[in-house]
């Protein structure tokens, strides 16, 4: 039953704030539940789903840096934060009847599988949602870059950048500037050259070099993930 879908294999980037809910910090099970109900509809269309989770709702490397910590050390803490989010997400998905596997880029064999590309694609073929945790496994990177990297590795059709209450990429901050206008289409080079806040520049250049399209959309609008996967033009599409 997948004639209706445009994108067969997707990488959904969920930032920490998508998991935090109103409080903006920590893990909010009700927020995850709402999001999972949306995601389940996409799953039922036959889409192969990978999720790259962020960790900013718990810890970010730059917080540690501001406290005088060594950058790499603080970044490893951030990677661990993504694992906590991944486990929470896994729990909610499985309670909703969606089979999942978590794969970590840093081995934690008691709680998740290590990242193995061929195994990840096998899980997808078998109808399991694969949650990628631990970022790239390297300090100085982000989970946006992880999304671009994994999308390239598993040959995903698109990266879906889920945003909270923003429906795409604007030329100015729509919460501040009343004249801000939304872009429907952009190239990765536009994003880099204009300094638009879509992904960090490492993630953008990786997406550009590997020709991975990206859709920025509002996660909080019910039905949006389904619309995106069916190819409706909502949000901003970045390609080329």
Point out the annotated binding site for UMP.
55, 75, 136-143
Report the residue from 11, 35, 89, 135 that binds ligand UDP according to the rule CB under 6 A. 135
Comparison of 34 and 46: residue with beta carbon closer to ligand UDP: 34
Is residue 15 within the footprint of ligand UDP (CB under 6 A)? yes
Is residue 55 within the footprint of ligand UDP (CB under 6 A)? yes
Q: Is 65 exposed, middle or buried (0-12, 13-18, 19+ CB in 10 A)?
A: middle
Q: Is 39 exposed, middle or buried (0-12, 13-18, 19+ CB in 10 A)?
A: buried
Region near ligand UDP per CB under 6 A, out of 30-38, 117-125, 132-140, 209-217: 132-140
Annotated binding site for ATP: 13-16, 56, 60, 164, 170, 173
Alpha helices in 60-108 (DSSP H): 61-66, 71-95
Instruction: Say if residues 83 and 134 touch (Cβ distance below 8 Å).
Output: yes
Instruction: Say if residues 5 and 229 touch (Cβ distance below 8 Å).
Output: yes
Report the residue from 47, 104, 146, 224 that binds ligand UDP according to the rule CB under 6 A. 146
How far, rounded to the nearest angstrom, does the alpha carbon of residue 155 sit from its chain's CA centroid?
A: 16
Enter the tokens of residue 240: 């080329």
Region near ligand UDP per CB under 6 A, out of 50-58, 112-120, 162-170, 205-213: 50-58
Q: Which residues pair with 49 in a beta bridge?
A: 10
Longest CA span, the chain: 54
Report the residue from 47, 142, 207, 224 that binds ligand UDP according to the rule CB under 6 A. 142
The 3-state DSSP class for residue 238 equals strand
Region near ligand UDP per CB under 6 A, out of 133-141, 151-159, 215-223, 224-232: 133-141
Is residue 21 within the footprint of ligand UDP (CB under 6 A)? no
Describe the chain by its helix, strand, coil percentages, rounded to 5. 40, 20, 40
Is residue 56 within the footprint of ligand UDP (CB under 6 A)? yes
**C-alpha distances in angstroms, 228 versus 38, 61, 160, 198, 232?**
12, 31, 8, 17, 5
CB of 75 to ligand UDP, least distance (A): 3
Is residue 139 within the footprint of ligand UDP (CB under 6 A)? yes
Report the residue from 31, 136, 204, 207 that binds ligand UDP according to the rule CB under 6 A. 136
Residue showing tokens 């994108």: 7
Binding mask 92-131 for ligand UDP (x = CB under 6 A): ----------------------------------------
Q: Which residues bind ligand UDP (CB under 6 A)?
A: 15-16, 54-56, 60-61, 75, 78-79, 81-82, 135-136, 138-139, 141-144, 146
């Amino acid at each position: 039953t997948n004639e209706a879908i445009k994108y067969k294999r997707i990488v959904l980037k969920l930032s920490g704030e998508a998991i935090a809910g109103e409080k903006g910090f920590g893990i909010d099970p009700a927020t995850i539940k709402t999001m999972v109900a949306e995601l389940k509809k996409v799953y039922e269309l036959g889409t192969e789903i990978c999720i790259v989770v962020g960790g900013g709702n718990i810890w970010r490397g730059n917080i540690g840096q501001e406290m005088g910590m060594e950058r790499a050390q603080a970044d490893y803490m951030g990677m661990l934060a993504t694992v906590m989010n991944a486990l929470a997400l896994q729990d909610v998905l499985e309670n909703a009847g969606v089979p999942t596997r978590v794969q970590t880029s840093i081995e934690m064999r008691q709680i998740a599988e290590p990242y193995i590309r061929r195994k990840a694609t096998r899980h997808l073929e078998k109808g399991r949602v694969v949650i990628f945790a631990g970022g790239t496994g390297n300090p100085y990177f982000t989970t946006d870059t992880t999304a671009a990297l994994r999308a390239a590795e598993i040959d995903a059709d698109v990266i879906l950048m889920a945003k909270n209450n923003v429906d795409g990429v604007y030329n100015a901050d729509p919460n501040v500037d009343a004249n801000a206008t939304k872009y429907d289409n952009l190239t990765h080079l536009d994003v880099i050259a204009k300094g638009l806040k879509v992904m960090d520049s490492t993630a953008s250049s990786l997406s550009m070099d590997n020709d991975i399209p990206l859709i920025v959309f509002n996660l909080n609008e019910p039905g949006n993930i389904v619309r995106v996967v069916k190819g409706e033009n909502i949000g901003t599409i970045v390609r080329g």
